[in-house]
Amino acid sequence: MTKAFGIDIGGSGVKGAPVDLEKGCLAAPRYRIPTPRPSTPAAVGQVVRRLLDHFEWSGQVGCTFPAVVKAGITRTAANVDGAWIDCRADEALSAIAGRELHLVNDADAAGLAEVRYGAARDTRGTVIVLTLGTGIGSAVFLDGHLLPNTEFGHLEIRGKAAERRASDRVRKEEDLDWATWAKRLEEYLRRMEDLFWPDLFVIGGGVSKRHESFLPLLQTRTPIEPARLRNDAGIIGAALRAAGRV
């Protein structure tokens, strides 16, 4: 079994597990620690170290992060402390955790996992993976190759960023029924269709476990599939990044 370790750093929790890279699944039950407050690089680094110590892991490690990540530097900070902006995060986390770590944007990681093992496996053409949660994350692939750090959750719809109209958080905060929320999501997907003419949408994020409640309500010309790896996708994609299989 070829394994690497994946960590998914989010606004509310940091979770991780070793990953079987041959099967594309967790090799042990994942372990979760609440995201510290404030979520500074130093505080998050200590949580990452606790995760790795929990599994007594000393091999390759990849971490997702809710930010644009370029050459190991986090250029933005969504739902985490502003100290991450322009932070040399690869170096900072590696130093604190005592292991070499490699960061990847969280939506990109989920997309990598779905393209390699999940709903978009063996799909040619343009695939757009969207993670619907606190915001809207996006990952765009052409014939399996990633265009990194896209931020299409910020696409403007009716004067607002799309994620302020169609994220799962908005659905909950505004107490929208599935039909009303699906209309908003459909409007966003149609705009994406007009811009990119994709061959497949994959809908992930926490809401994907309720896909029966809203996917049948959507009318698009592009096929839509629910994510298959669900909440494990980020961990699996991070492990792929660590092993250099991207």
Whichever domain contains 200, its CATH number is: 3.30.420.40
22 & 93 share domain: yes
**What confidence tens digit (pLDDT) does each residue in 64-96 have?**
999 999 999 999 987 789 999 999 999 999 999
Q: Domain range holding 198?
A: 120-227
Residue 136 in domain: yes
**pTM, two decimal places:** 0.94
Among positive and negative, which fits the CA dihedral 81, 84, 90, 95? Answer: negative
Who contacts 169 (Cβ-Cβ below 8 Å, separation ≥6)? 133, 134, 135
What is the spatial distance between Cα 106 and Cα 238, in angstroms, rounded to a whole number?
Answer: 8
Who contacts 58 (Cβ-Cβ below 8 Å, separation ≥6)? 99
Strand partners, 101: 61
177 & 88 share domain: no
Three-state SS for 75? coil
219 & 147 share domain: yes
* Dihedrals phi, psi of 16, to nearest 5 degrees: -160, 165
Residue 113 in domain: no
Who contacts 201 (Cβ-Cβ below 8 Å, separation ≥6)? 127, 128, 129, 130, 189, 192, 220, 222, 223, 224, 225
- Helix ranges (DSSP H) in the chain: 41-54, 89-97, 106-117, 163-166, 168-173, 178-196, 233-242
84 & 129 share domain: no
Residue 14 in domain: yes
The pLDDT value given to residue 20: 97
Ramachandran bin of 24, using left for φ above 0, alpha for ψ from -120 to 50, beta for the remaining angles: left
Residue 111 in domain: no
**What confidence tens digit (pLDDT) does each residue in 24-44 have?**
999 999 999 999 999 999 999
What is the spatial distance between Cα 26 and Cα 37, in angstroms, rounded to a whole number?
Answer: 28
Give the amino acid at 116. Answer: R
Residue 174 in domain: yes
Give the amino acid at 165. Answer: R
**How many structural domains compose the chain?**
2
Least confident of 61-65, 175-179, 204-208: 204-208
Q: What's the chain's average pLDDT? A: 95
124 & 212 share domain: yes
The model's confidence at residue 111, banded by pLDDT at 50, 70 and 90, is very high
Closest of 211, 130, 213, 136 to residue 167, by C-alpha: 136
